[in-house]
């Protein structure tokens, strides 16, 4: 039965995040003449992007991460700088927190090759440093290169990764509740620094983790930093419905987005959660021109910069390592790929196979589409056309907002902030001032109660 929310006028406003790969999301972004060539390790570059996004009233900025140098054929990798040399995100966001006031600061941390205690402590610290603007993107690593950096020959299987992530997130949230909000008295007159009755030991013993606690950090300003997640598989949807507060899953067709939106939110009541407690924010790559033709010309110019070696390596990474080099670039994907099963990321592989099967795209067309936005949806046009697209998806309840992924930086971000944001504001779809001081305030999310002090 269709949720009646899907047809009622929306009382809320669009949520926007800014996702920064160092030089931009296009796989050839570093070749753009306006790119910062050392972007991955240039703090001034990241700080400027964060301040531009804050000027545009974005809810948050988001940084992805990997725990390994990208593996594969070095001939291709030498032309593709992503995940080769770049900042550890928590360190970077902690520095950015000191030079921004409102924008949320969201970082990826893997549940496959981290420990709940360290993760809880790092994000609690970021939340304190930023005065309540931290968010954690909960991911499950799927790269064999990462596994071998942590003493394993291969990564965990798909379903095990999500079961582990589920328990991991629950332990982290429990650790964040180690101290009640008013546990630290810091009272010189009585000589009492803390109230022992307001300290709680987790004593978790589960399938994957045994964690005693308590955490040696005060409860974060937000209670819990905001939890994000990107998986679109059934286990990923279930994890989002149970534990997460925003989802970044790639969505390319409005009808598919509406079905995903309803499916994930319909899973939430069994966990005692309202659908309003989760924001669906798929990636969106806007390419903006003064005219529609100029926008398409800009996009095509970038597509022509994708070296075939890079394009094939990019597809291979998403297709379970399948080597496409022996096949005609202007021919179809090999038929055997359509029956392949994977323990890696399933959403992106499913999208690529769907484009091949349903649209008849060649290998070259597939890597151009995927490489133009790293698997996310690309919208090409004037600022008004981009705003129209965003408004349509938002009002049709396919999304609660978008994770904006500029194909080139800083140009793509500047174009969006200077041209699209004012249109969204004029239409009453987006804020003209920040609503509060925390990321939860911006996203309209309640501060969670401490699990140890809830009645009953």
The CATH number linked to 399 is: 3.20.20.30
Buried residues in 53-70 as b, exposed as e (16+ CB within 10 A): bbebbbbbbbbbbbbbeb
Q: What's the pLDDT score for residue 456? A: 52
In a domain, 216, yes or no: yes
* Beta carbons within 8 Å of 6's beta carbon, 6+ residues apart: 258, 261, 262, 397
| Residue at 297 is within a domain | no
pTM: 0.90
Residues of the chain with pLDDT under 50: 1-6
Total number of domains constituting the chain:
1
Q: What per-residue confidence (pLDDT) applies to 390?
A: 98
- 345 located within any domain: no
| pLDDT for 144 | 67
- What pLDDT, on the 0 to 100 scale, is given for residue 95? 98
pLDDT in the model for residue 3 = 45
**Would 220 be classed as within a structural domain?**
yes
The pLDDT, as a whole number, for residue 143 is: 66
Residues 231-277: tens digit of each pLDDT: 788 888 998 999 899 999 889 899 999 999 999 999 999 999 999 99
Q: What is the pLDDT of residue 70?
A: 74
CA proximity to 227, closest of 451, 450, 448: 448
What pLDDT, on the 0 to 100 scale, is given for residue 4? 41
Cα 260 to Cα 93, 257, 285, distances in angstroms = 31, 5, 20
Domain that holds residue 382: 14-290+376-443
Q: Is 227 exposed, middle or buried (0-12, 13-18, 19+ CB in 10 A)?
A: buried
337 within domain boundaries: no
406 falls within a domain: yes
Q: Which residues contact 246 (CB under 8 A, 6 or more apart)?
A: 15, 17, 135, 226, 227, 228, 229, 278, 279, 280, 281, 443
- Give domain status of residue 253, yes or no: yes
Residues 189, 406 contacting (CB under 8 angstroms): no
Q: What is the pLDDT of residue 102?
A: 98
User: Is residue 323 one of the residues assigned to a domain?
Assistant: no
């Amino acid at each position: 039965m269709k949720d009646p929310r899907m047809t009622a006028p929306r009382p809320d406003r669009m949520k926007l995040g800014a996702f920064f790969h160092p030089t931009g999301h296009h796989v050839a972004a570093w070749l753009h003449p306006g790119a910062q060539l050392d972007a991955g390790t240039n703090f001034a570059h990241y700080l400027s992007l964060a301040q531009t996004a804050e000027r545009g009233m974005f809810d948050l900025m988001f940084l992805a991460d990997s725990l390994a140098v990208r593996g594969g054929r070095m001939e291709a990798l030498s032309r593709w700088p992503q995940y080769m040399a770049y900042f550890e995100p928590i360190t970077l966001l902690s520095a950015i927190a000191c030079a921004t006031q409102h924008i949320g600061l969201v970082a990826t941390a893997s549940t496959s090759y981290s420990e709940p205690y360290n993760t809880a402590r790092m994000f609690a610290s970021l939340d304190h440093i930023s005065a309540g603007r931290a968010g954690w993107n909960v991911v499950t690593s799927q790269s064999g290169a990462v596994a071998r950096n942590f003493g394993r020959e291969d990564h965990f299987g798909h379903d095990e990764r999500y079961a582990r992530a589920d328990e991991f997130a629950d332990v982290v949230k429990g650790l964040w509740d180690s101290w009640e909000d008013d546990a630290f008295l810091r009272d010189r007159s009585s000589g009492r620094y803390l109230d022992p009755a307001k300290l709680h030991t987790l004593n978790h013993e589960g399938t994957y983790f045994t964690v005693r606690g308590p955490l040696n950090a005060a409860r974060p300003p937000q209670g819990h930093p905001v939890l994000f997640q990107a998986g679109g598989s059934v286990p990923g949807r279930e994890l989002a419905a149970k534990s997460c507060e925003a989802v970044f899953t790639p969505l390319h067709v409005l009808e598919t987005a509406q079905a995903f939106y309803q499916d994930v939110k319909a899973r939430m009541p069994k966990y005692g959660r309202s659908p309003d407690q989760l924001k669906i924010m798929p990636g969106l790559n806007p390419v903006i021109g003064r005219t529609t033709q100029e926008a398409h010309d800009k996009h095509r110019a970038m597509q022509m910069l994708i070296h075939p070696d890079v394009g094939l390596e990019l597809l291979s990474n998403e297709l379970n390592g399948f080597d496409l080099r022996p096949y005609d670039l202007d021919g179809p994907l090999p038929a055997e790929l359509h029956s392949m099963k994977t323990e890696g990321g399933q959403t992106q592989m499913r999208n690529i196979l769907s484009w091949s099967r349903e649209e008849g795209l060649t290998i070259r067309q597939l890597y151009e589409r995927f490489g133009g936005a790293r698997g996310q949806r690309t919208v090409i046009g004037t600022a008004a056309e981009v705003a129209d697209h965003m408004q349509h998806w938002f009002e049709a309840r396919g999304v609660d907002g978008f994770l904006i992924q500029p194909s080139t930086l800083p140009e793509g971000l500047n174009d969006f902030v200077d041209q699209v944001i004012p249109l969204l504001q004029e239409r009453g779809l987006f804020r003209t001032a920040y609503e509060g001081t925390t990321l939860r305030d911006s996203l309209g999310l309640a501060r969670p109660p401490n699990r140890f002090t809830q009645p009953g």
